[in-house]
Chains A and B, each alone.
Chain A
Amino acid sequence: METRSPDEVPVVQEGREEDLELLPELVTHLRDRRTELREQWANRITNAHLLSAMTDEEIFSMATSVYDNYVEVLETGSVEALQAYARDLSERIIPRGVETYEVVGIVLLLRDVLARSLFEKYQKDFELLNRVLDAYEPAANRIANTVAVSFVQERERIIRQQQDAIRELSTPVLQVRERILILPIIGVLDEQRANQFTEQLLAGIRNNRAKVVVIDITGVPDVDSEVANHLVQAVDASRLMGASVILTGLSPEIAQTLVTIGVDLGKMNTVGDLQGGVEEAERLLGFQVTKSDTVGNHQH
């Protein structure tokens, strides 16, 4: 298989040499009608309710830049400037909730607007129109491709960045009392995070000489059989190191789900909330917490 750098959009070359000679004529035509076609395009975007997250002025200024870049690609055949612009644009609009279909949609609209204007101009000569379209279509498809791919790549880059950020928020290992640790898990527990979590749990047990560990999963949005399996493994591994685990914070929904999918957490020691978990841990180690009479009696 051919390997290519992820930044590069593969070039689909079609169109014959003599048709490509028509491109300069095309470019001149599109330059001449710039104001009108751009206006048409912007209107169609608004009518199709695309890019609803952007204001009309923003759409117009974006339309201008994309239009000019578009014509430039037709003229020079180089998509680099357009690619750079599309990336930059994507970076700005992705946080505002612009979706892939919208971006693809507007590029296809522009393609249609320009194609119609070519129909209009060359309708008298069908032969010539065919040749013009032969020159125009591959270039236009390539542009649509470039913009869509740039957008998706930018989005993937942002997703990767965020995943890294989440990963770096490692699970804290907190000692609450001698030999009792608390590990709150917050966020989605995927394979990689589960492994990291178990490593930290086991290292924490050894470094703090813990006997009881309270794992709180209040912050885990969804527990499926895979996550449950990770938790069971973490518990078993802790047991091998001589520590017992108390699992807390299973919400009613999660409890129902686990029962429904038939995950057996019977071996696990589960307690409703973190407070109960800590109390249970204290009980296991023989701690007794008593309220002092002298404090907290300041009633008047």
Chain B
Amino acid sequence: MLVSILRQGSYLIASIHEALNDREIVQFQRDLVEQIGTHRARGVIIDVAALDVMDSFGSRTLLNLAHAARLRGAETVIVGIQPTVAFAMVRLGMGLDNVHTALDLEEGLECLQRLLQEPRDHQSPR
């Protein structure tokens, strides 16, 4: 299994276990946005700690996913971006602007909790 999507209370936790190709990542995006609705999730965490490379398509899809999730009523936090991946993404000019990021799962949960306490229109990433 390349991706697991687990439900934890009102959160969905999606862990990517290995590098996805373009088709798989689009499939993942579709599944996740779908499941936000079925589980009535309010928060989504995408854990990419297992990835040691991320291409521009991958990061753009994650960005789209976060925006789509917000339209479906859930906040997204991307966690576990590796130092080398972060550096490579920045050097290629692929920032994840307007998306929340956190160090790891634990931080991500904390971040979601904080986000969901605040009124929605005050939410802006650091």
Contact = CB atoms under 8 A, between A and B. Distances in A.
Contacts of B90: 233-234, 236-237, 240
Interface in B25-58: none
Interface in A62-83: none
Nearest to B87: A237
| Max chain B Cβ within 10 angstroms of own Cβ: one of A202, A237, A243 | A237
B12 interface: no
A202 B103 CA distance: 11
A239 B101 contact: yes
Contacts of A238: 86
B80 to A, nearest CB: 9
Contact of B87 (A202, A243, A244): A202
Interface in B80-124: 81, 83-87, 89-91, 95-96, 101-104, 107-108, 111
Sort chain A's interface into a size bin.
10 to 19
Secondary structure dominating the interface of B: helix
B74 interface: no
A242 interface: yes
B23 interface: no
B126 A244 contact: yes
Given A199-B83, A202-B87, A241-B81, A236 B103 contact: no
B96 A241 contact: no
A241 B86 CA distance: 7
Secondary structure dominating the interface of A: helix
B65 interface: no
A233 B102 contact: no
A199 B111 CA distance: 25
B103 A209 contact: yes
Contact of B101 (A198, A202, A203, A242): A242
A133 interface: no
B95 to A, nearest CB: 5
A240 B79 contact: no
A238 B95 CA distance: 11
Interface string A133-166: 0000000000000000000000000000000000
B81 A240 contact: yes
Contacts of B104: 209, 242
A244 B95 CA distance: 14
Contact of A205 (B83, B91, B96): B83
Given A199-B83, A239-B95, A241-B103, 10 more contacts: A202-B86, A234-B90, A236-B90, A237-B87, A237-B90, A240-B96, A240-B101, A242-B107, A242-B108, A242-B111
Interface of B: 79, 81, 83-87, 89-91, 95-96, 101-104, 107-108, 111, 126
25 contacts: A199-B83, A202-B83, A202-B86, A202-B87, A203-B83, A211-B107, A233-B90, A236-B90, A237-B83, A237-B86, A237-B87, A237-B89, A238-B86, A239-B96, A239-B101, A240-B81, A240-B85, A240-B95, A240-B96, A240-B101, A241-B83, A241-B86, A242-B102, A242-B108, A244-B126
